[in-house]
């Protein structure tokens, strides 16, 4: 009877306690400043890519259309996790409401699921462009691009609904989450009912999707590189590789960081190590993606320089106008 009452109390809990980076106030403020810098870098970099692609008509092609969607998803991913963690450090708190935790799980799954699906679509886009260039415009046209982008978002939406519904349908015996955000595997450890096996099954399906998508991308790039090697022109090879290497680098970063999910430390390990590993696979990829694409892509780099030059010119003109 007492056990049932205790379970019902935890099931109706109003909040969760997250893992803090440190209990020392100075280190909490350091965490706030570091995460603020990371967040601003990620958001600014991805926003610049979105604006540059939207304003430059030369970049209104399928590849950059997908890249713009990827930048939107990256902004969403970091915005789900980082601001709440920053607020908790600033306020010396580790609390997140039950509804806030539900929203965090749902949105993180939505953006990460859509992100990976879009990476698969972008690999297919590069495959058609290089291996079947004569039919590229017929296969990858405006309507098909829109449909593929929508399918990526729908896939992420279904993943989010399954995981959020499966996770919060269980009964919780504790509200102490051993992670700095509401992570599904850590929430499942708090379960005191067998229903958590349903969500565990959803996680296995998700893992199969990631593995299958990764195999598809690897096989696709094997065919792409085989085609590139047959190109006689050195300039042609460089042009083909310049459009593939940024995407391949981003995919590799995503896949390598995802491995950290399964290589995470055990319960008895150092909590700080668990936090570092989680930061690597949740925050670092969205922050680095804009730099990877802008460094390796001349057209995008030119568009970004034009955008930055326009902003500087506008500020100078505004300053002169104010002086007059």
Give per-residue pLDDT as tens, 130-152.
898 889 999 999 999 999 999 99
Which pLDDT score is estimated for 195?
65
Report the distance separating Cα 212 and Cα 314, nearest Å. Answer: 48
Q: Evaluate whether residue 233 is within a structural domain.
A: yes
Distances (CA, A) of 84 to 31, 32, 81, 103, 167: 12, 10, 6, 12, 20
Mean pLDDT of the chain, nearest integer: 82
The pLDDT of residue 128 is: 93
Bridge partners (DSSP) listed for residue 176: 17
CA-based max dimension of the chain: 80
Mean pLDDT of 116-131: 92
Q: Tell me the pLDDT band of 39, cut-offs 50, 70 and 90.
A: very high
283 inside domain: yes
The reported pTM is: 0.84
Domain limits at 30?
2-318
Which run of H or of E encompasses 28? helix 25-55
Q: In this structure, is residue 323 part of a structural domain?
A: no
Output the CA–CA distances (angstroms, integers) from residue 295 to 202, 246, 247, 258, in the order listed: 37, 8, 12, 24
In a domain, 186, yes or no: yes
CA dist 178 and 258 (Å) reads 19
DSSP assignment letter at 179: S
The CATH number of whichever domain residue 43 belongs to comes to 1.20.1070.10
- Going by their DSSP bridges, the two strands 15-17 and 95-97 should be labelled as antiparallel
Q: Which helix (H) or strand (E) holds 16?
A: strand 15-17
pLDDT digits (tens, 9 = 90+) for 174-183: 888 888 899 8
Confidence of residue 6 (pLDDT cuts 50, 70, 90): very low
Residue 242 lies in a domain: yes
Does residue 250 contact residue 285 with C-beta atoms inside 8 Å?
yes
* Selection from 144-148, 277-281, 302-306 with the highest mean pLDDT: 144-148
Given this model, what pLDDT does residue 153 score? 95
If one counts the domains in the chain, the total is: 1
Whether pLDDT at 112 is above 60: yes
Give a yes or no: residue 284 inside a domain: yes
pLDDT tens-place string over residues 201-228: 777 777 788 888 888 998 998 999 888 8
- Residue-level pLDDT at 322: 43
Identify which of 16, 32, 17, 24 has the alpha carbon closest to the alpha carbon of residue 89: 32
Q: Give the number of residues written for the chain.
A: 324
In a domain, 324, yes or no: no
Residue 78 lies in a domain: yes
Crossing angle of helices 284-296 and 234-262, rounded to 10°: 180
Contacts of 136 (CB under 8 A, 6+ apart): 128, 129
> At 40, is the pLDDT very low, low, confident or very high (cuts 50, 70, 90)?
very high
């Amino acid at each position: 009877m007492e056990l049932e009452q205790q379970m019902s109390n935890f099931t109706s809990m109003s909040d969760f306690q997250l893992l803090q980076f440190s209990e020392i106030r100075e280190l909490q403020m350091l965490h706030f400043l570091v995460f603020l810098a990371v967040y601003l870098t990620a958001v600014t970099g991805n926003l610049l890519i979105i604006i540059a692609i939207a304003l430059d008509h030369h970049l209104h092609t399928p590849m950059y259309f997908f890249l713009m969607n990827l930048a939107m998803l990256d902004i969403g991913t970091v915005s789900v996790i980082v601001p709440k963690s920053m607020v908790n450090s600033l306020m010396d708190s580790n609390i997140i409401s039950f509804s806030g935790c539900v929203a965090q799980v749902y949105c993180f799954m939505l953006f990460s699921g859509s992100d990976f699906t879009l990476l698969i679509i972008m690999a297919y886009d590069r495959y058609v462009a290089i291996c079947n260039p004569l039919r590229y415009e017929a296969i990858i046209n405006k309507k098909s691009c829109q449909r593929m982008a929508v399918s990526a978002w729908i896939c992420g939406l279904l993943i989010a609904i399954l995981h959020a519904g499966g996770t919060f349908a269980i009964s919780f015996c504790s509200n102490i989450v051993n992670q700095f955000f509401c992570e599904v595997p850590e929430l499942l450890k708090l379960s005191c009912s067998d229903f958590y096996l349903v969500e565990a099954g959803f996680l296995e399906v998700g893992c199969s999707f990631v593995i299958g998508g990764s195999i598809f991308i690897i096989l696709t790039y094997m065919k792409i590189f085989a085609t590139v090697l047959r190109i006689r022109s050195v300039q042609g090879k460089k042009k083909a590789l310049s459009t593939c290497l940024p995407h391949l680098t981003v995919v590799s970063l995503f896949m390598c960081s995802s491995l950290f999910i399964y290589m995470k430390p055990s319960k008895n390990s150092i909590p700080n190590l668990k936090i570092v590993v989680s930061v690597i696979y949740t925050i670092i990829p969205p922050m680095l993606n804009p730099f990877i694409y802008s460094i390796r892509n001349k057209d995008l780099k030119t568009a970004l320089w034009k955008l930055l030059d326009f902003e500087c010119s506008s500020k100078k003109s505004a300053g002169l106008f104010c002086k007059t």
